[in-house]
Amino acid sequence: MGTSPSFLLVAIDGGAASGKSSTARALAARFPLLHVDTGAHYRAITAEMLRKGVTPGDLSGVESALAGLRLGTRVTGSAAQMEIGGRIQGDEIRAPDVNAAVSHFAALPAVRTALLHYQRGQVEVAKSHGFKGLVMEGRDIGSVIFPAADLRFFLHADPVERARRRAQEGQLDSVAERDRLDSSRKTAPLTCPPGAIDIDSTHLTLDQVVDRVATLVAVRLNPVPPAP
């Protein structure tokens, strides 16, 4: 029932290692949706600040570094990646120093405002590449970036399970500490926005999570026509 929106916006939020990146990537592989990982945006900005020797406490340094950044987008397959000065950031955005600093930079309103405009602009990027919609994952997508998204999901999982997932990926990452910082900041804290579909993935496989989300996306993209 219902009509298909001309462009489908899917928001997936959740804590560190809640499964949102894998879910969003799998969705973009099944449907003609552009996948945008906003955690990678915060990580790329953080890596750039660290390279420039700017600390999160140096607000004027952060603001002038932000003003000098030329942000662009490269689309490869169904994934959008942020370019800074025409360059894609590599594995360095997953390095331990970035893991430790990213939540501190992400708490700064100047950083969030710069990325809010960039992230909302991803709709035009997706449309210009012929995608039928966008799946954007992060912490504040359903609450701040696209509060009127067609579908908003919030994934959570037990902290012990999430730490186990990160360790399995071979990553040194204090998931609980990042969540604490992300949930307690003043601007756009990590929270399940009212009306979002809450999924506890602790005891679900990735395929089970993807199936739940994909079922709802499929209904929106291919609604059953009303009976004649």
Q: Which residues bind ligand C5P (CB under 6 A)?
A: 16, 38-39, 42-43, 102-103, 106, 138-141, 178, 182
Nearest residue by C-beta to ligand C5P? 39
Pure H helices in 132-205? 159-168, 175-184
β-pairing verdict for 133-138 and 8-14: parallel
Determine the Cα–Cα distance for residues 119 and 40; give it in Å rounded to an integer.
12
Residue 35 or 139: the one with the smaller Cβ distance to ligand C5P is 139
Determine the Cα–Cα distance for residues 82 and 206; give it in Å rounded to an integer.
26
Task: Supply the minimum distance, in Å, between the C-beta of residue 13 and ligand C5P.
Answer: 7
Q: Cα dist. 72→59, 119, 157 in Å?
A: 23, 11, 33
Residue 32 or 159: the one with the smaller Cβ distance to ligand C5P is 159
Task: Supply the minimum distance, in Å, between the C-beta of residue 228 and ligand C5P.
Answer: 44
Task: Supply the minimum distance, in Å, between the C-beta of residue 154 and ligand C5P.
Answer: 12
Residue 180 or 219: the one with the smaller Cβ distance to ligand C5P is 180
Residue 104 or 132: the one with the smaller Cβ distance to ligand C5P is 104
- Residue type at 140? D
Determine the Cα–Cα distance for residues 92 and 38; give it in Å rounded to an integer.
16
Task: Supply the minimum distance, in Å, between the C-beta of residue 201 and ligand C5P.
Answer: 15
Residue 160 or 218: the one with the smaller Cβ distance to ligand C5P is 160
- b vs e for 146-167, b when ≥16 Cβ sit within 10 Å of the residue's Cβ? beebbbbbbbbbeeeebbebbe
Task: Supply the minimum distance, in Å, between the C-beta of residue 106 and ligand C5P.
Answer: 3
Determine the Cα–Cα distance for residues 48 and 61; give it in Å rounded to an integer.
12
Residue 71 or 221: the one with the smaller Cβ distance to ligand C5P is 71
170 — alpha (psi -120 to 50), left (phi > 0) or beta? left
Determine the Cα–Cα distance for residues 183 and 188; give it in Å rounded to an integer.
9
Residue 64 or 183: the one with the smaller Cβ distance to ligand C5P is 183
